[in-house]
Amino acid sequence: MNTKTDSPMRDLLILLSMTFALGLVAVSSASHAQIGFPGEEQEAAASDGELDQSLEGTIERGKLVYDSKCTFCHRADGMGVPGAFPPLVVGAKFDADPKIVDPLVALGLYKDGAMTAGTVDVQIDVVLNGITGTRMFAFKEQISTQEVADVVTYIRNAWGNDSGELVKPEQVEAVATN
Ligand code: HEC
């Protein structure tokens, strides 16, 4: 009978193969984490607080938001659509129905037939809450506080707009809670 001498060896083999299997699991989950699912990386970056907070980095992120959410109406060059969607380029001429123009005048974003810079807070508010009674709708349910900061930074520094202003998420939060 050799079962007595056999079984410690078998135990050892089982132990070794289990260790090996665990090792495989560890390796495969590590490589999975490295590859990541789409969107995972961005979330991780945001929660790590590792976002590039420089003006250039913020403008770059803001362009991505703008290109996916705003170009349909305001166009890639920020010039909008005559009579319908206003340019975001400061100084650009715009002519439209009073229904469209009057709210812009009231917000300090339009004067004497042309777009004006307005203030950061007003533009943050417009992006968060839209402009009532117009086709500019509220984005606060669609994009994050950080993305509002990024896109407002972008529109104030693109197409020759050169405010040099860097909008922080804290400023967006302040406008949102006012
Ligand atoms: C469905 C079309 C539409 C989309 C999409 C849209 N807008 Fe607008 N936006 C408008 C219209 C129309 C107005 C003018 C509203 C009025 O008549 O007062 C406007 C006005 C604005 C204004 C005020 C004008 C100014 O020069 O400051 C800002 C700022 C603005 N939009 C930013 C954005 C941003 C940023 C996005 C993307 C996150 C966006 N809009 C997406 C239609 C749109």
CATH number of the domain where residue 110 is located: 1.10.760.10
pLDDT confidence of residue 11: 67
pLDDT confidence of residue 36: 43
Residues 64 and 31 in one domain: no
- Please say if the pLDDT value at position 116 is more than 80: yes
Residue pair 120/152 in contact (Cβ under 8 Å)? The answer is: yes
Residues 9 and 69 in one domain: no
Residues 87 and 137 in one domain: yes
In three-state form (DSSP H/G/I as H, E/B as E, the rest C), the secondary structure along 73-103 is HHCCCCCCECCCECCCCCCCECCCCHHHHHH
The answer to the question of residue 41 being in a domain is no
Residue 50: pLDDT band (50, 70, 90) is: confident
Residues 23 and 64 in one domain: no
pLDDT confidence of residue 178: 83
Q: Which atom of ligand 1 is nearest to the CA of 154?
A: 35
Q: Hey, what long-range contacts does 15-22 have (CB within 8 A, 24 or more apart)? A: none
The answer to the question of residue 97 being in a domain is yes
**Portion of the chain with pLDDT greater than 70, in percent:** 72
Residues 106 and 74 in one domain: yes
Residues 54 and 85 in one domain: yes
The total number of structural domains in the chain stands at: 2
- Please say if the pLDDT value at position 77 is more than 60: yes
- Please say if the pLDDT value at position 46 is more than 70: no
The better pLDDT of the pair 55, 25 is held by: 55
Residue 16: pLDDT band (50, 70, 90) is: low
Q: Which atom of ligand 1 is nearest to the CA of 84?
A: 12
Whole-prediction pTM value? 0.79
Query: CA 176, CA 172: separation in Å to the nearest integer?
Result: 6
The answer to the question of residue 43 being in a domain is no
Could you report the per-residue pLDDT of 117-153, keeping only the tens digit for each? 999 999 999 999 999 999 999 999 999 999 999 999 9
**Portion of the chain with pLDDT greater than 90, in percent:** 71
Residues 24 and 66 in one domain: no
Cα of 117 vs centre of ligand 1, distance in Å, is 13
3-state secondary structure of 71: helix
Residues 21 and 59 in one domain: no
For 2, the domain range is 1-35
Residues 24 and 53 in one domain: no
Closest CA to 127 of 115, 140, 114: 140
Query: CA 77, CA 132: separation in Å to the nearest integer?
Result: 25
Cα of 118 vs centre of ligand 1, distance in Å, is 13
Does residue 103 line the site of ligand 1, with CB under 6 A?
Answer: yes
pLDDT confidence of residue 145: 98
The answer to the question of residue 82 being in a domain is yes
Closest residue by Cα to atom 6, ligand 1, is 70
Residues 153 and 74 in one domain: yes
pLDDT confidence of residue 115: 98
Cα of 27 vs centre of ligand 1, distance in Å, is 49
- Please say if the pLDDT value at position 102 is more than 60: yes
Closest residue by Cα to atom 31, ligand 1, is 136
